[in-house]
A and B are shown apart, each in its own frame.
Chain A
Amino acid sequence: MKPARPVKLLLRTLRAQLVYAGLVSLAGTFVFYFVLQQLYYADVDEALLLRREEVVRKLPLVPRAQDLALWMKLDRDLVIRPLGREPAGPERIAGELRYDSLAKEMEPYRTLTTTVRYHGHPYRLVLRSSLVESEDLLAAIGVAQAGLLVVLLGGLVLVQQRVARRLWRPFYETLAQLRRFRLDQRVPVELTPSPTLEFQELNAALTDLLTQHRRLYHSQKEFTENAAHEMQTPLAVQHTKLELLAQQPNLGEAQAQHIGALLDVTQRLARLNRSLLLLARLENQQFTADEEVDLRRVLTTIVKQLQEEIEAAQLNVQLAADHPVWLRGNSTLLEILVSNLVVNAIRHNQTGGAIAVTLTPQRLTVANTGRAAALPAGREFARFRKDALSAPGGVGLGLAISRQICDTCGLQLAYDFEVPNWHRFTVSWT
């Protein structure tokens, strides 16, 4: 299942509020209209009952049954006729739709039906009250009410939103500061103080966390540097002593060879130490990758620097980098990465072999001819990987460092092998 797109906090509360406000407005309008209608009907019904009283009181004043017709003619909302065989039934009031001859359409009425006695005979009395005007009034009141409700709730929501936005402002400020935070920044982070308790606590917790991280980062960096110092100084002593030894007069050939071998080993140790420290520092994220680097420039410089080695190995280098390619990263690290890959392609090549370097806006590919077997799958970038076919003398950290640099700079590094003997390393970015 695809995870839902994240929604802003304020939008979520706004949504909930709008749904609630909408429901209340809608339901409220209907309920209000209904209640109002009931009240009005009760009022009309009461008036009908009063009229019935009046009719009952006035009925004895009508001398003859024929005069009732005149009365009915004068009052359209009154019907009075002999009950005949109709069942008397109890008095009731009901709503009905009648054709109004004046308005020429069906109109709603409230109708009271009851039985009265006139000159000793049961008569059916029907009293009606038109609801035409009242319906219009009710509708008008309903609309006004609905409008009021919408304005009221909408206003509330807006006010709420403004307040919420102001309340949450410290949160967004803290967030922005966290985004800007870098472990290696020189000044400790200072979060904007907030009058809200929760944000105060959040800021305090974050400040603690960040301070602790910065301290940890610095102590790690210090350790790395101390380790470097502790190892490099004895190596420096050893190297200079050997150099001085080599300056001795009357140095025999055998002695000279021993000294030469010791110097080589010392130097290898120093390089190994440097490589390990670089790896450690990469893992400690002690580099920031926020420079714009032109990869083409790096590439051409390095290929030029390696020209002698390339010529010595009689390699045919094809360099395809037509346009500058700007990449966000750390210039030192990108230089090390490119040089590691190119050096790798030279060292593991065969005399008279070939190297193809291609730089496009999406990727850098370094391919070389070499031994006719792929690197062991899954262990291409392992440290100190050594097998029967490895080139002699290498430390075995070059590819591990390349991989680590790619991780640090947010790049992808991939290796593939193409029959018969092409080894290809691809650095890609998006």
Chain B
Amino acid sequence: MKLLIVEDEPELTASLLSHLQDQQYVCEVATTFAEAEEKLLLFEYDCVLLDLTLPGGDGLELLRQLQARQQADGVIITSSRDALDDRITGLRLGADDYLPKPFHLSELSARIAALVRRRRFNGSNLVQAGPLTVDVLARQATVRGQPLLLTRSEYDLLLLLLANQNRVVMKSTIAEHISGDMAEHFNSYEPVYTHVKNLKRKLSELGIGDSLRTVYGLGYRFELPSA
């Protein structure tokens, strides 16, 4: 799985590299417009993380070039330019997703995973994690063939956790993942606790409740027992 990170802030690039390489992605970095332009011409990537404000040019211009070559669908725009028209222009130019800064690394993983699934398998696929299977197209999960009946929020939560296996997913990430922008208005994590509790109960009923663990007050980790 090959990724190109187009980002001019070195510390942010370092964080992204550390996080994504941990998840077995092969990452390359471009820090300027020219560098990104060249790399995008020479190589092919499964996914491009594209910052819009770059030294030497506008990220949207790169997107236009990609669109002209019909390669824009692998792009996730990671911009601090939260200007509405940028978002609309970006998506109209064929970008797959728009993730405004500051974003959560776990959320980014979930978006990349979703993008890669869509591109690689033409949208029909299964996410496998030990005895757990998720049919993303049908939005159905099974454990050893037994159906795992989840609400929409619980299903979203499970996919987020699966995209970040063996890593802590922050409570705040879960809150935003489930309720989107609405999360910012509520400082209580009550809905998160409720969804996690319910998901854990349902997983326990099918014998894999142990895989969902609480990490102090920080968040949760999905980890299959190494057996």
Contact = CB atoms under 8 A, between A and B. Distances in A.
Interface of A: 221, 224-225, 228-229, 231-233, 235-241, 243-244, 246-247, 251, 253, 256-257, 259-260, 263-264, 266-267, 270-271, 274, 277, 281, 286-287, 305-306, 308-309, 312, 332, 339, 343, 346-347, 392-394, 398
Contacts of A231: 80
B19 A233 contact: no
Interface of B: 9, 11-12, 15-16, 18-19, 22, 53, 80-84, 100-106, 153, 167-168, 170-172, 179-182, 184-188, 190-191, 194, 215-219
Contacts of A237: 9, 11-12, 15
B101 A260 contact: no
A218 B66 CA distance: 27
B191 A260 contact: no
A-B pairs with the 3 shortest C-beta distances? A232-B80, A393-B187, A240-B15
B218 A239 contact: no
A210 B159 CA distance: 52
B190 A398 contact: no
Given A228-B80, A260-B218, A240 B170 contact: no
B80 A244 contact: no
B175 to A, nearest CB: 10
18 contacts: A228-B81, A236-B103, A243-B105, A244-B15, A244-B18, A247-B22, A247-B167, A253-B216, A260-B217, A260-B218, A263-B172, A270-B102, A277-B82, A281-B83, A312-B188, A339-B182, A347-B186, A392-B187
A343 B182 contact: yes
A343 B179 CA distance: 13
A225 B191 CA distance: 33
B12 A229 contact: no
A309 B186 contact: yes
Contacts of B167: 247
A394 B187 CA distance: 8
B102 A235 contact: yes
Contacts of A260: 170-171, 216-218
A312 B101 CA distance: 29
B218 A259 contact: yes
Given A236-B101, A253-B216, A312 B80 contact: no
B82 A274 contact: yes
Contact of A225 (B12, B81, B219): B81
A10 to B, nearest CB: 42
Given A228-B80, A228-B82, A233-B12, A305 B182 contact: yes
Contact of A236 (B83, B102, B106, B184): B102
A253 B217 CA distance: 8
B182 A240 contact: no
A176 B74 CA distance: 45
Given A232-B102, A263-B170, A347-B186, A308 B217 contact: no
B174 to A, nearest CB: 12
A339 B186 CA distance: 12
Contacts of B185: 339, 343, 347, 398
Nearest to B168: A246
A309 B184 CA distance: 12
Nearest to B83: A225
Given A264-B172, A312-B190, 12 more contacts: A237-B9, A237-B11, A239-B104, A241-B11, A241-B15, A246-B170, A246-B215, A247-B167, A308-B153, A309-B191, A312-B191, A343-B185
Contacts of B172: 263-264, 267
B168 A271 contact: no
Contact of A240 (B16, B84, B179): B16
Contacts of B16: 240
Query: Which of B22, B102, B190: most chain A Cβ within 10 A?
Result: B102
A246 B12 CA distance: 16
A228 B101 CA distance: 10
Contacts of A312: 188, 190-191, 194
Nearest to A271: B184
A57 to B, nearest CB: 110
Contacts of A233: 9, 12, 80, 101
A262 to B, nearest CB: 11
B203 to A, nearest CB: 20
A429 B170 CA distance: 43
A281 B82 CA distance: 11
Contacts of A347: 185-186
A154 to B, nearest CB: 57
Contacts of B83: 221, 224-225, 228, 281, 286
A332 B84 contact: yes
B191 A308 contact: yes
B101 A232 contact: yes
Contacts of A286: 83
A263 B16 CA distance: 17
